[in-house]
Homo-oligomer: A and B are copies of this chain.
Amino acid sequence: MYCVGIDIGGMSVKAGVIDRDGNILKKGKVVTDVAGGDDKIISDIGDLVLSLADPKDRDFVGIGIGCPGAINSSTGTVDRAYNLNWTNVALAEKLARKINKPIKVSNDANCAALGETMFGVGRMYSDTIFITLGTGVGGGVILDNKLYEGNESKGGELGHMVLVVDGEPCTCGRNGCMEAYCSASALIRETKCAMLANKDSEMWKFSPSLADVDGKTAFECSKKGDKAAIGVVEYFVKYLGEGMLNFANIFRPQAIILGGGVCAQGDYLIDKLKDYCKDRNYGFEGMPRFDILVAQLGNDAGMIGAAGLIYSDLKK
């Protein structure tokens, strides 16, 4: 038994033949022809699938698709995807005209969450929260081994939980969202602030101009004992820790899985987060604690998790 998992990105569409254990048996890729419009992209996706798998093969049980933007997974429709310039595109229906297989569509971050939980670092757990720390903060919620998407699949916007009423402005229009404190962009903002306030910081050696600052600047200099850098890392850990504790109180997951570039810091970040959360766990002594894990499927998480949309449905 196998599925085709598809990850639609603004630059390219990646597809893979994924077996029941989440292994990638074959891979393919096509440029995302945004200018060509939705019909062209969907036609290209169809060709890509046909190049990887034969619809007549009964072992080929379905196609899962991860797509950026706001998706209605019950209808397989993309309501809005800004970087594809799509509005109300009946993705599943249109692809089904070309390939007669079960097709499931979900948001790309949700697929990554499902992939990591079914086949990645979270495979020993049934209830996880996945948080990606990138330009923004995205995530997904897995309850009882299945994706929880909320009403019209519009839930799971974990980055837009306000941690500080009247806090830093967020892209979503509100103030103080987790994204405004825990994204790579927020980390870079705080690093720059700390550098401007501390002209003798080691960070100026690591990143000679503000334009050179990235998500590593504060972390690497913090490891060398630079005070200003330590302050930035403590700030980042504090807000990320508070956000994770909130999700723990709301969902009480077995594990919270972190993804995104900053997780390359590995144990240096995770140990600090564990320390922060340790004494702040809600409730009595025996209250279940959550593990903190780093995602391990990397850029393939979305594609593998897209296949998981089909597999987790088979379980029903």
**Which residues of A come within 8 Å of B, CB atoms?**
70, 79-80, 127, 141, 143, 148-152, 154-158, 160-165, 172-174, 238-239, 242, 245-246, 249-254, 279-280, 282-284, 286-288, 290
Contacts and interface: CB of A to CB of B under 8 A. Distances in A.
B150 A127 contact: yes
Contacts of A163: 162-165
B70 A252 contact: no
Given A151-B290, A158-B249, A163-B163, 13 more contacts: A70-B283, A70-B284, A150-B251, A150-B253, A151-B254, A156-B250, A156-B252, A157-B250, A160-B249, A161-B246, A162-B163, A163-B164, A173-B280
Question: Oligomeric state, in number of copies?
Answer: 2
21 contacts: A70-B283, A70-B284, A79-B286, A80-B286, A127-B150, A127-B151, A143-B148, A151-B251, A151-B252, A151-B254, A151-B290, A152-B288, A154-B283, A155-B252, A157-B282, A160-B246, A161-B249, A163-B165, A172-B282, A173-B280, A174-B280
Contacts of A156: 250, 252
Nearest to A175: B242
